[in-house]
Chains A and B, each alone.
Chain A
Amino acid sequence: MREIELVIIGGGPAGLAAAVKAYELGLRDILIIERDIELGGILQQCIHDGFGLHRFGKQLSGSSYAQKFIDKVEEYNIPVYCNTMVIELTEDKKITAVSPQEGLLHIQAKSIILAMGCRERTRSQVRILGTRPAGVMTAGAVQRYINIEGWKTGNRAVILGSGDIGLIMARRMTLEGIFVEGVYEVMPNLGGLRRNKAQCLDDYNIPLHLATTVVSVHGKQRVDGVTVAKVGPDRMPIEGTERYIPCDLLVLSVGLIPENELSRNAGLELHPITKGPIVDTTMMSSVDGIFVAGNVGAVFDLVDYVSLTGEVAAQGALSYLRGQRTHSNSIEVIAGDNVSFIFPQNFYATKDHKDNEKATLYMRVKKTMKKVRLEVTCNGQIIATKKERFATPPEMLSIDIPVDKILDGQLKINVLE
């Protein structure tokens, strides 16, 4: 069995950033395991711009964003196994993987960073009724066919879900000659960024229907239409508002969930809301030496956050490998007023922090608010605040907290209007 100091499972933005950071911190015995034939993860099919504003100060396409990290990985000669799938992960960090080139791989890792990303919710999870013909696809699947394989998957589409992926796909499909009949959103408000509505829907006269959902799919072999209906405050369809829309493609952009097959496999404790592993501010999970980076922990809206968590995880893994993880307290950060969840869920408190060291906490709010103040308290004392002009549930907020000030006690975050 091969021994490796740090194995990173997943070569998307989280895993790549973790690998580059770990190398730059001096670690050499690293292996990236990627299941696809190339690095980059889902960014390879995100050909639109808008990535990397925080990190690179400009708006790159997803593929360029990935390329910046891939170039570093190549420059540093960090070992990568592509086309390799981890099929088993144990609590004591034994990895079993398969690949056509390497066969069955048995690795004993000293530390692991999980960076498998997330997956899309399916039609059954949002309970779309009706038949099961060809032509019902997730936005990600359509995006892959169009942007990577070069194939159209229909001629007349209905999109369910107005998150950024749904909006971006509306434009992309239109530009590739697929007529988009409309974008439907079960919630009373837009799911994605308003600028994406402006440049993806308004530019192309694609109507957006809020508080409306797809109730059922029609067609035996191929989709020949869908029924949409207005929904009430309980998000249930209102009788009598049903409308039949002829189409041959239903595209679903109805949310993402962390990929947690391996997390479960290794016995990591999962969080009921994020659906990913519970971690501390070093991104370590409930299992010693197994770290988490990016969307596998919680679904982020910005790739910059994803790569940042990768770097934090790399730092955490290094401290762990070098035995610098001294006895510490893990303090649960309590989601206070208007906060639906916080990631990382726990604060890693230790005396060994450097001066002025900061830890970043990410959170989502429960409702849309304007002019908000984020407030972190420790035993009732405010230790950090931040102002935001607005906060909406689909957008992640972040705040840095000074780590040297906290050793124990109660940590809480409120978001106040």
Chain B
Amino acid sequence: MVEKEYICIICPVSCDLSLTDDNGDLSVSGNTCKRGEIYAKNEYTKPVRMITTTVAISGSVHPLIPVISTDMVPKEKLKECINLLYNLQLQAPIKEGDIIVKNILDTGVDIIAAKSVKKL
């Protein structure tokens, strides 16, 4: 039997989660909502994180545009995703929600613009 402690990162409440793995049978306590349970199980089997960063853009007031992932991506792919984004060069205008990278590194998650940027 394996026991793990996590701090839930799903919402600001930051619940203390305890996970027990009894021969593949996972149980979670300490959560105050369903999402906490899912988080703990994910964290144990395949931890995931949101991506938020910036991408270079030209033709706009500022040289960067913020972007965000539509869902969480596997933690181990985070660095690779970010490196991919660091090498992009976008062109204004872009609207908030526009897809910047579809299905990034086959994660099934899109990267979208987190701001509307007008052309200068």
Cα A196 to Cα B114 in complex, Å, equals: 20
A389 touches B114 (CB 8 A): no
B54 to chain A, nearest CB (A): 6
A61 touches B68 (CB 8 A): yes
B54 touches A64 (CB 8 A): no
Cα A198 to Cα B6 in complex, Å, equals: 8
CB within 8 Å of B: which A329-379 residues: none
Looking at A59, A197, A302, the one whose CB has the most chain B CB atoms below 10 A away is: A59
Q: Which of A64, A197, A395 contacts B114 (CB 8 A)?
A: A64
A164's nearest neighbour on chain B, judged by CB, is: B12
B115 to chain A, nearest CB (A): 4
Note all chain A residues with C-beta closer than 8 A to B64.
147-150
B115 touches A37 (CB 8 A): no
A193 touches B14 (CB 8 A): yes
Q: Is A38 an interface position by the 8 A CB rule?
A: yes
Interface size on B, residues (CB 8 A): 29
A61 touches B114 (CB 8 A): yes
Q: Is B8 an interface position by the 8 A CB rule?
A: yes
A195 touches B12 (CB 8 A): yes
A146's nearest neighbour on chain B, judged by CB, is: B54
Q: Is A96 an interface position by the 8 A CB rule?
A: no
Interface of A is mostly: helix
A150 touches B114 (CB 8 A): no
Cα A194 to Cα B13 in complex, Å, equals: 8
A195 touches B8 (CB 8 A): yes
CB within 8 Å of A: which B61-87 residues: 61-64, 66-68, 75, 82
Q: Is A175 an interface position by the 8 A CB rule?
A: yes
Note all chain A residues with C-beta closer than 8 A to B67.
47
CB within 8 Å of B: which A63-101 residues: 63-64, 66-67, 70-71
In this complex, the interface size class of chain A, counting residues with CB under 8 Å from chain B, is: 20 to 34
State whether A47 and B13 are in contact (beta carbons under 8 Å apart), knowing that A147-B64, A148-B64 are contacts in the complex: no
A389 touches B66 (CB 8 A): no
Q: Is B96 an interface position by the 8 A CB rule?
A: yes
Q: Is B49 an interface position by the 8 A CB rule?
A: yes
Q: Is B32 an interface position by the 8 A CB rule?
A: yes
B36 to chain A, nearest CB (A): 11
Q: Which of B52, B54, B116 contacts A71 (CB 8 A)?
A: B116
A195 touches B114 (CB 8 A): no
Cα A175 to Cα B78 in complex, Å, equals: 10
Beyond contacts A47-B54, A193-B14: 12 other A-B pairs, Cβ-Cβ < 8 A, are: A47-B52, A47-B67, A49-B50, A61-B52, A63-B96, A63-B114, A71-B96, A147-B64, A150-B63, A196-B9, A198-B7, A302-B12
